């Protein structure tokens, strides 16, 4: 009887030990890229860069994402699935800077490498949970300040402007808002921000929001949209009111559709932050970490203002 009890106890210990280990004989090399809205061309560029680096580095890569950038719970579920599969590494552009930290810590606790790209995770929440995650991406605050400075220059140093924000509480959205407001503050009161509101990164919502802004503030001379999707919504609203060419529109992300709008004169500029490098560098850091190499806490991607002069000289 005692022998059977001892054998049963050993079996239970073995079971719990195996559940805590990563699969593939204690070391999966699978890398998964989890992005935000797959409908956004920005993330198509990110995926292309990740795939290029994966092929070059001989990395087994899977790419996935969510339908809308507000589908936070769905993105959390995607991470949970990869934890169950016990992949080697997760490279993620989080839809929310705070809500994803818990599940990513869970992945790390299971031995999975995690690399944060594009949208920084909240440092306070990470500290509270005792986790540190490397970040790949641009300086969103600086990029938005560049956009603001360009817009102010196009307005001749004064005017009334509006701001279309990203999702409230998401760090890259907050940084872009602050960067733009900093640019305006430096020349205050010559430039007045007469309206600011979120459009949650979406074109259709930006059309509606900016249409209402123009109704309430017909004196608006320029608008900064924290991504190109929202900038394109603003362009549509401007066109619907017969104001094309009279309001300066600056976006962020350098989407192809934004480039076309710049060339036709309905947008003035956008900010390039190289999502293809975010995806590529993320895969590269994941591979290095899986190989046991030390990796940096932060790897930047470059910023640039893209206007008609840049596009025509390219």
**pLDDT tens per residue across span 223-245:** 999 999 999 999 999 999 999 99
Tokens standing for residue 114: 């995690």
Q: What is the mean pLDDT of residues 161-183?
A: 97
Residue 269 near residue 235 (C-beta atoms within 8 A): no
Domains identified in the chain, total number:
2
Same domain, 124 and 183: no
CATH number of the domain within which 72 lies: 3.40.50.2300
The 3-class secondary structure across 141-195, one letter per residue, is HHHHHHHHHHHHHHCCCCEEEEEEECCCCCHHHHHHHHHHHHHHHHCCCCEEEEE
Phi/psi of residue 287, nearest 5 degrees: -65, -45
Q: How many CB atoms lie within 10 A of CB 151?
A: 24
Same domain, 201 and 164: yes
Q: Which of 262, 255, 204 is nearest to 230 (CA)?
A: 204
Q: How many residues does the chain have?
A: 314
Same domain, 121 and 147: no
Same domain, 155 and 256: yes
Q: How many CB atoms lie within 10 A of CB 47?
A: 20
High-pLDDT (> 70) share of the chain, %: 91
Tokens standing for residue 278: 């975010």
Residue 184 near residue 159 (C-beta atoms within 8 A): no
Would you say residue 310 lies in a domain? no
Same domain, 92 and 202: no
Domain coverage including residue 283: 24-137+275-300
Q: What is the mean pLDDT of residues 105-134?
A: 97
* pLDDT surpasses 50 at 7: no
The CA distance from 288 to 166, in Å, is: 33
Same domain, 176 and 253: yes
Would you say residue 5 lies in a domain? no
Q: Is the dihedral of CA 261, 233, 136, 107 positive or negative?
A: negative
Domain boundary among 236, 255, 272: 272
Would you say residue 28 lies in a domain? yes
Would you say residue 314 lies in a domain? no
**CA-CA distances (angstroms) from residue 312 to 68, 194, 195, 222, 273?**
33, 33, 33, 23, 19
Tokens standing for residue 71: 């589908």
Would you say residue 268 lies in a domain? yes
Same domain, 60 and 98: yes
Same domain, 279 and 133: yes
Q: How many CB atoms lie within 10 A of CB 211?
A: 17
Q: What is the mean pLDDT of residues 151-156?
A: 98
* pLDDT surpasses 80 at 72: yes
The CA distance from 67 to 80, in Å, is: 17
pLDDT confidence of residue 39: 87
pLDDT confidence of residue 42: 96
Same domain, 156 and 207: yes
pLDDT confidence of residue 170: 94
Would you say residue 1 lies in a domain? no
* pLDDT surpasses 80 at 14: no
Same domain, 144 and 128: no
Q: Is the dihedral of CA 273, 279, 280, 282 positive or negative?
A: positive
Same domain, 202 and 284: no
Would you say residue 10 lies in a domain? no
Domain boundary among 272, 289, 309: 272
Mean pLDDT of the chain: 92
C-alpha atoms less than 13 angstroms from C-alpha of 170 in its C-beta half-sphere: 25
The CA distance from 188 to 90, in Å, is: 44
Same domain, 262 and 281: no
Would you say residue 311 lies in a domain? no
Q: What is the mean pLDDT of residues 279-301?
A: 98
């Amino acid at each position: 009887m005692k022998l059977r009890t001892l054998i049963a106890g050993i079996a239970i210990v073995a079971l719990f030990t195996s559940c805590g280990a990563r699969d593939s004989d204690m070391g999966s090399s699978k890398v998964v890229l989890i992005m935000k809205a797959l409908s956004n061309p920005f993330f198509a560029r990110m995926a292309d860069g990740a795939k290029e680096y994966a092929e070059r580095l001989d990395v087994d890569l899977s790419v996935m994402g969510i339908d809308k950038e507000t589908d936070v719970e769905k993105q959390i579920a995607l991470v949970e699935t990869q934890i169950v599969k016990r992949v080697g590494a997760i490279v993620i552009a989080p839809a929310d800077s705070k809500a994803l930290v818990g599940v990513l810590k869970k992945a790390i606790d299971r031995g999975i490498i995690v690399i944060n790209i594009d949208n920084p995770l909240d440092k306070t929440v990470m500290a509270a949970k005792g986790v540190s995650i490397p970040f790949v991406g641009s300086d969103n605050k600086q990029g938005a300040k560049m956009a603001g400075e360009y817009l102010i220059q196009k307005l001749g140093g004064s005017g009334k402007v509006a701001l279309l924000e990203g999702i409230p509480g998401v760090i890259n959205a907050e940084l872009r808002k602050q960067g733009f407001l900093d640019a305006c503050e430096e020349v205050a009161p010559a430039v007045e921000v007469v309206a600011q509101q979120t459009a949650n990164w979406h074109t259709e919502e930006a059309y509606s929001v900016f249409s209402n802004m123009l109704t309430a503030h017909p004196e608006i001379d320029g608008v900064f949209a924290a991504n190109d999707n929202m900038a394109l919504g603003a362009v549509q609203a401007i066109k619907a009111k017969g104001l094309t060419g009279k309001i300066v529109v600056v976006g962020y992300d350098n989407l192809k559709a934004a480039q076309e709008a710049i060339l036709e004169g309905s947008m003035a500029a956008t900010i390039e932050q190289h999502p293809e490098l975010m995806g590529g560098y993320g895969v590269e850091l994941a591979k290095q970490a899986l190989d046991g190499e030390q990796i940096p806490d932060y790897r930047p991607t470059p910023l640039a203002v893209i206007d008609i002069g840049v596009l025509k000289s390219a």
